[in-house]
């Protein structure tokens, strides 16, 4: 199989490229800069690079490919809505138009389970792919990713793949603890899902091979986990001197503070968290991956303990 990958120099993109190459697949990667070229070619010097961005992609870039993995996105929930729409919605439309013009048979959009967020910011428990999806505009990342999903479904060649992006095992979790974006919220003891990066790559490839066009699949690890327990274990495995702060704050209090700050120019930038981040980190947020396991044969081969042990070994 020959795969075209956008966002190949990012954390997920690099991991997917390695995963595809290790299984004998060929990769073509979109790259915006020389720095991105270098990052991608450090994986394998023979990877074919297409220089450009989402606005310059053409059917000739993807015409010999069997699948497009569209990973590139603006993920910063502090970005203005117009910028989010340009990158996440318009960018997706341009990539899928190129894929359709080149008769690429499969298109996988990397979306996010944050699209399930509700206008009343209520906790989400065991959410399924066919549950009502209508994220509020104030959750700009979720809102624009849902619009991107709509573009993909309308194209009728695509498999839309969802994952719980905010809890993918990666450097973002450690940075969030260091800058204070992740802390303890009350009431505590709530559960979340996580997605180990290798399990995500497993889900991406399976969706390209077996996914039904127009469908979505939740890709998460096999069991849910208490939020503060996982974050503490993960960041400690990365850096034995790092811990979550002991002090906590009420979810409702924090939510109201953040809502008020949004009405004061530039005030919201003073805190490392906003409402969209809070609703995923400060309360129950679990999804159901039965559909992916049943239809795709997804397993999630990396257990939580195995993943933590890999982190410890990598650190040393």
**Secondary structure, 3-state, the chain:** CEEEEECCCCHHHHHHHHHHHHCCCEEEEEECCHHHHHHHHHHCCCCEEEECCHHHCCHHHHCCCCEEEECCCCCCCCCCHHHHHHHHHHHHHHHHHHHHHCCCCEEEEECCHHHHCCCCCCCEEEECCCCCCCCCCCCHHHHHHHHHHHHHHHHCCEEEEEECHHHECCHHHHHHHHCCCCCEEECCCCEECCECHHHHHHHHHHHHHHCCCCCEEEECCCCCEEHHHHHHHHHHHHCCCCCCCCCEEEHHHHHHHHHHHCCCCCHHHHCCCCHHHHHHHCCCEEECCHHHHHHCCCCCCCCHHHHHHHHHHHHC
The whole-number pLDDT of residue 18 equals: 98
Q: What is the residue extent of each domain of the chain?
A: 2-315
Edge to edge, what strands does the sheet with 191-192 contain?
124-127, 285-287, 191-192, 225-226
pLDDT category of residue 59 using cuts at 50, 70 and 90: very high
Task: Provide the pLDDT confidence category of residue 162 given band limits of 50, 70 and 90.
Answer: low
* Range in 26-30, 54-58, 159-163 with the lowest mean pLDDT: 159-163
Q: For the stretch 267-303, what's the b/e string if a residue is b when 16 or more beta carbons lie within 10 angstroms of its beta carbon?
A: ebeeeebbbbbbbbbbbbbbbbbebbbeebebebebe
Write down the pTM of the prediction.
0.93
Burial 171-200 (b: 16+ CB within 10 A, else e): ebbbebbeeebbbbbeeeebbbbbbbbbbb
214 or 209, greater pLDDT: 209
How confident is residue 165, by pLDDT bands cut at 50, 70 and 90? Answer: low
pLDDT in tens, 10-45: 999 999 999 999 999 999 999 999 999 999 999 999
Burial of 56-83, coded b for 16+ CB within 10 Å and e otherwise, reads ebeeebbeebbbbbbbbbbbebebeeee
- Give the number of other Cβ atoms within 10 Å of residue 314's Cβ: 9
Q: Provide the CB-side half-sphere exposure for 219 (13 A, CA).
A: 35
The pLDDT value recorded for residue 265 is: 78
The pLDDT > 90 percentage for the chain reads 68
Give tens-digit pLDDT for 82-138.
Answer: 999 999 999 999 999 999 999 999 999 999 989 999 999 999 999 999 888 899 999
Q: What proportion of the chain, given as a percentage, has pLDDT over 70? A: 96
pLDDT tens string 231-285: 999 888 888 888 888 889 999 999 999 999 888 877 767 777 889 989 988 999 9
Q: Which CATH superfamily is domain 2-315 in?
A: NAD(P)-binding Rossmann-like Domain (3.40.50.720)
């Amino acid at each position: 199989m020959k795969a075209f990958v956008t966002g190949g120099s990012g954390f997920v993109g690099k991991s997917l490229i390695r995963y595809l190459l290790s299984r004998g697949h060929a990769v073509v990667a979109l790259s915006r800069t020389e720095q991105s070229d270098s990052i991608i070619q450090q994986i394998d010097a023979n990877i074919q690079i297409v220089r450009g961005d989402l606005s310059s992609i053409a059917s000739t870039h993807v015409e010999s490919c069997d699948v497009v993995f569209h990973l590139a996105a603006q993920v910063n929930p502090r970005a203005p809505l117009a910028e989010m729409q340009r990158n996440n919605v318009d960018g997706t439309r341009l990539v899928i138009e190129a894929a359709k013009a080149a008769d690429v048979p499969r298109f996988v959009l990397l979306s996010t389970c944050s699209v399930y967020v509700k206008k009343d910011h209520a906790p989400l428990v065991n959410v399924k792919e066919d549950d009502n999806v209508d994220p509020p505009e104030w959750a700009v990342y979720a809102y624009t990713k849902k619009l991107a999903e709509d573009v993909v479904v309308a194209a009728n060649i695509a498999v839309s793949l969802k994952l719980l992006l905010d809890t993918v095992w990666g450097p973002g979790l450690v940075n969030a603890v260091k800058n204070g974006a992740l802390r303890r919220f009350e009431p505590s003891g709530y559960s979340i899902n996580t997605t180990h990066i290798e399990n995500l790559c497993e889900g991406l490839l399976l969706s390209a091979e077996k996914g039904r066009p127009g469908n979505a699949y939740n890709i998460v690890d096999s069991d849910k986990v208490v939020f503060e327990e996982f974050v503490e274990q993960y960041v400690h495995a990365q850096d034995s001197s790092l811990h979550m702060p002991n002090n906590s704050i009420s979810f409702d209090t924090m939510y109201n503070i953040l809502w008020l700050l949004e009405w004061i120019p530039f005030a919201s930038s003073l805190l490392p968290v906003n409402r969209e981040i809070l609703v995923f980190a400060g309360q129950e947020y679990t999804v159901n991956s039965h559909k992916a396991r049943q239809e795709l044969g997804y397993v999630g081969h990396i257990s939580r303990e195995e993943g933590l042990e890999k982190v410890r070994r990598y650190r040393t």
